[in-house]
Structure 1
């Protein structure tokens, strides 16, 4: 549990860590190298640690040097999979393509993750079936086996990020050409493609969300590769700067270009920002915030992972703000926690909500983290509320934000971990 004492004025700078959403698929893809690789800017977060535990069970050797992960997949097996840990994180879906490539079969439970709504894996399974792997369900487990087919294949990723990533990895060593249609092009997908290209993969990207993978005979290993910085973490600190700073905070490795639509919405709300160069953004304390409407979308649209933190900004704006969450029907559920802090909200349906502002948020309550991003949002609410706010289920936050508490303390926040 976190105890947050509100109304402290923050200042200073924060350096954004490596991206959770890039690190996890790259760890899965690194199995395809069947050798060593050094991954720099790797975030030490809960999901990465859990995934490494799973990978260690199937023979991966690794060690840390600061934020560099030395990774060796020379002696992997498809045995000893830790089903209990696989159930905890959705990133275990990235085991499918590498283990099928090397062993032709895999049996895993349905991967876990945040409770933000249905995230089907049909695009993963249908794409794998199209290249030769049959699948079936057995209770709460998925069983896949078969033989990799050659030749040209056309697959549909359904604009899913993880399905796009899995289908890319599944085809980099497959003889033939694969056209992945309706592919996601989020920054973390591009980082995965850069990783695989460094290893020798032949991957092309078209303007119309098509990714073309031409299979190569082998991938090289024993190289260094940098995990891209986390644009979702960056956007979270932009909101913190706008709401809780004394004058401003500076955000290093901000991924400014990746957040164009998000930053434009900040500006529309009345938040002043300044590009200091070298991918550093200064975000000024906001006054007289204006209500805005947001609609989440696939990249380069407004990121769904920043919808929850942005709702806290909207709660401080004059007028009626609207959220239209296109992608996940469970993402607005956390607003009941904001109501406990005296915010005036109306959830109209699983995808739309109104926020009536401005609201003077009140502490003195215990709220919970519904998911990773909602947990961060409730911390932001606690930072600007009067009094003390207790936040439970904070393990969700630690799954995706590296050193969240210590980074906030360096900026001047007053918060601490306490026993339930």
Structure 2
């Protein structure tokens, strides 16, 4: 695509339902073993992959009135094929859901964005703590199953070996296989974990400690439910960064304030003026962006998914910014592309130094992952020079109607 910015964005932007919330909830419908309705849901490519996995397993899915109906009563398989596994990282979340339903599951090592090592060791260690057996095959097939004869653990207590959103979601779902109490310590606290807990409670689970690092799970009978999907906090942050990069002003509707406290505070320290109106936010950009220092980390710290977007804005800030990335070791790939535009960036291990420049140049840029693609667009909005971005389909994995909304508000994209 070709992007030409240089003009302040002005207008309204609508935040879509959360990708990172809906994917584990789609997987969790397997546990309900009933009819479920998820709403609102948009047709981004990762959602299409997840729906495709459900249908291959035997579920019946249909889109209706901005949501999706899922009937998992007819699921008769516990294996996810190689191609489906490789299409997205979240395919691994079906392990926990299938274990809860059948006590066994097979999936191949997952695909997804290449932003660094994301081993599933934390997932497998958690399954083993619950009493499951795990086998890893040379072709990448992962087989997990429950053998009551080998389960010597009367108390189901999982001490997560590291803070991981995906592993917490997987262990949370797999714990539904057991009717007795399950305790999960060192659980991730991201908003998407809270959304999954709320969905499981709607099915009939009893979960205590929601929002904390210790979760206590039990259940009797389960049934289907209507699940509302929250706004996508990363998309909301992306629109905010688009406004700041272009030095524009506008309203972002359905802005998840509670989930973006660290981000909102950070853009205010960059000079943005923020006004809240119920569920909407109005952002007015400063004439000059202030340089800042920040570090990413697990929630409630600054989210790693928004680091590429903010760092793209900081390329034209006044002063020197310092960013420490603690989650993914390859989260600075977008900055290597922005150097082609003339960004003054020094990267050393998990730290980067950005000295703001007055102007960025026209360039041909290659997106390497979902957030990199969005960050390159954010940077291009700051200049009236044409940038060519080779996206390779990354953007469609997580953004719905994003380009159309930018065009509607005056950005030239072809």
- Work out which of the residue numbers 170, 192, 197 in structure 1 matches 2:196: 192
| 1:175 corresponding residue in structure 2 | 179
Q: What count of residue pairs does the alignment treat as equivalent?
A: 409
1:237 and 2:267 matched: no
Name the SS for the 1:334 alignment partner: helix
- Work out which of the residue numbers 207, 217, 220 in structure 2 matches 1:217: 220
Any idea what the Cα deviations from partners look like across 1:117-137, whole Å, max 9, x if unmatched?
111111211111222321121
Contact 1:109–1:142 at 8 Å: present in 2 too?
Answer: yes
| 1:398 corresponding residue in structure 2 | 396
| Cα shift at 1:147 | 3.1
Once residues 341 and 159 of structure 2 are traced to their aligned partners in structure 1, the CA distance between those partners, rounded to angstroms, is 43
Measured at CA, do residues 387 and 186 of structure 1 come closer, stay the same or move farther in structure 2, by a change above 3 Å? same
Contact 2:44–2:399 at 8 Å: present in 1 too?
Answer: yes
| 1:9 corresponding residue in structure 2 | 8
Return 5+ residue gaps in structure 2 as ranges.
none
Once residues 36 and 219 of structure 1 are traced to their aligned partners in structure 2, the CA distance between those partners, rounded to angstroms, is 11
| Cα shift at 1:206 | 6.4
1:330 and 2:330 matched: yes
- Work out which of the residue numbers 155, 158, 172 in structure 2 matches 1:155: 158
| Cα shift at 1:390 | 1.0
| Cα shift at 1:394 | 4.2
Return 5+ residue gaps in structure 1 as ranges.
none
The TM-score with structure 1 as length reference comes to 0.94
Once residues 171 and 43 of structure 1 are traced to their aligned partners in structure 2, the CA distance between those partners, rounded to angstroms, is 29
1:270 and 2:268 matched: no
| Cα shift at 1:207 | 7.1
Contact 2:59–2:71 at 8 Å: present in 1 too?
Answer: yes
My pick for the range that moved more, 236-245 or 320-329, is 236-245
Contact 1:347–1:353 at 8 Å: present in 2 too?
Answer: yes
Contact 1:23–1:42 at 8 Å: present in 2 too?
Answer: yes
| Cα shift at 1:208 | 5.3
Once residues 133 and 191 of structure 1 are traced to their aligned partners in structure 2, the CA distance between those partners, rounded to angstroms, is 25
Measured at CA, do residues 123 and 77 of structure 1 come closer, stay the same or move farther in structure 2, by a change above 3 Å? same
Name the SS for the 2:365 alignment partner: strand
| 1:356 corresponding residue in structure 2 | 355
| 2:129 corresponding residue in structure 1 | 130
| Cα shift at 1:319 | 1.0
My pick for the range that moved more, 229-238 or 281-290, is 281-290
Once residues 8 and 33 of structure 2 are traced to their aligned partners in structure 1, the CA distance between those partners, rounded to angstroms, is 50
| Cα shift at 1:209 | 1.0
Name the SS for the 1:172 alignment partner: helix
Once residues 175 and 334 of structure 2 are traced to their aligned partners in structure 1, the CA distance between those partners, rounded to angstroms, is 38
Any idea what the Cα deviations from partners look like across 1:269-305, whole Å, max 9, x if unmatched?
11111112x2100011221211101100111111000
| 2:368 corresponding residue in structure 1 | 370
Once residues 37 and 205 of structure 1 are traced to their aligned partners in structure 2, the CA distance between those partners, rounded to angstroms, is 25
Contact 1:90–1:113 at 8 Å: present in 2 too?
Answer: yes
| 1:226 corresponding residue in structure 2 | 228
Name the SS for the 2:361 alignment partner: coil
Contact 1:375–1:394 at 8 Å: present in 2 too?
Answer: no
Once residues 102 and 45 of structure 2 are traced to their aligned partners in structure 1, the CA distance between those partners, rounded to angstroms, is 28
Name the SS for the 1:87 alignment partner: helix
Once residues 344 and 238 of structure 1 are traced to their aligned partners in structure 2, the CA distance between those partners, rounded to angstroms, is 23
Name the SS for the 1:395 alignment partner: coil
Any idea what the Cα deviations from partners look like across 1:158-217, whole Å, max 9, x if unmatched?
221011111111113412111111111111110111111111110011675111112x22
| Cα shift at 1:62 | 0.8
Contact 2:296–2:324 at 8 Å: present in 1 too?
Answer: yes
| Cα shift at 1:386 | 3.0
Residue pairs, 1:7-406, within 5 angstroms: 7-78=6-77, 81-139=80-138, 140-147=140-147, 151-157=154-160, 158-205=162-209, 209-214=213-218, 216-221=219-224, 223-244=225-246, 246=248, 248-276=249-277, 278-349=278-349, 351-363=350-362, 365-406=363-404
Once residues 207 and 30 of structure 1 are traced to their aligned partners in structure 2, the CA distance between those partners, rounded to angstroms, is 21
Contact 1:23–1:43 at 8 Å: present in 2 too?
Answer: no
Instruction: Let me know the Cα RMSD of the aligned residues.
Output: 1.6
